Amino acid sequence: MNISRHPGHRAYAPAPVAIVAATLLAVLLASATATAKGPPPPPPRYPEVAMALADDLDRQAAPRLGIGFPENSRGLYWVVVTVPADADNLAASSGLGRLMAQELSCALVARGYNVQEIRKASEIAFDRTQGEFILTRDTRALARRHVTATLVVAATYTVLPGEVRFNVEVMDARNNDIVAMTSRSLAKTQEVAALLGRSGLAAVVPTVSTVDTASFQRELLPYLR
């Protein structure tokens, strides 16, 4: 079939072809977008949550304590990390609390602080009427002459249907002043529920395990004793 070359004459593609081409283009674009997004990222685990808590606490405490000025560095502060207590039973903790205390200690060490863990319940008191932590005389005595100040990290956690919420405070042992406070959530996976104990096994959010059964039990064993 001859197509006219007469000036001003234009050849148009048949309408059905244009529609098919547009449809294919839309499908390709939608597929590319879905591929680019990919699956949602996994929820943050213990180290990530602990690092986020440490970053928040350091960001608040540093300017209040004058850290960063000459002759006042993080290495001059002694940080005492306590094991987080269950907000519903302040006399108790769990494997999860002990693990988070260790992770938080590591995160603060990475920030440049000198860190020590204490696990005696008598070191920290909690005033139920005021809803605040109080340092005991023994804890105040932890302040040492060769450091600028002793800071105490105290925390509670609340078990919710889909997460565990950690509330953390940093106190100056010299005067009981709160110099930093923050909160973060940890997804309540099967692993987290096991660390919480039997009471934490209810309403666990289903998730895909990333470790085999033997590795899972081996990693949890030290915290369940």
- Digit-coded pLDDT (tens) for 167-183: 999 988 778 789 999 99
**For the domain 46-188, what is the CATH code?**
3.40.50
Phi, psi values for residue 126, rounded to 5°: -130, 120
Residue 161, amino acid:
P
| Mean pLDDT, all residues of the chain | 73
- Domain ranges in the chain? 46-188
How far, in Å, CA of 45 to CA of 25, rounded? Answer: 40
> pLDDT tens, 149-169?
688 898 889 999 999 999 999
Task: Tell which wins on pLDDT, 197 or 26.
Answer: 197
For the cut 60, the answer to whether the pLDDT of residue 77 exceeds it is: yes
Q: What is the DSSP letter of 13?
A: -
- Cβ-count burial 202-221 (b if 16+ within 10 Å, e if not): eebeeeeeeeeeeeeeeeee
| DSSP string of 37-54, one letter each residue | H-SPPPPP-HHHHHHHHH
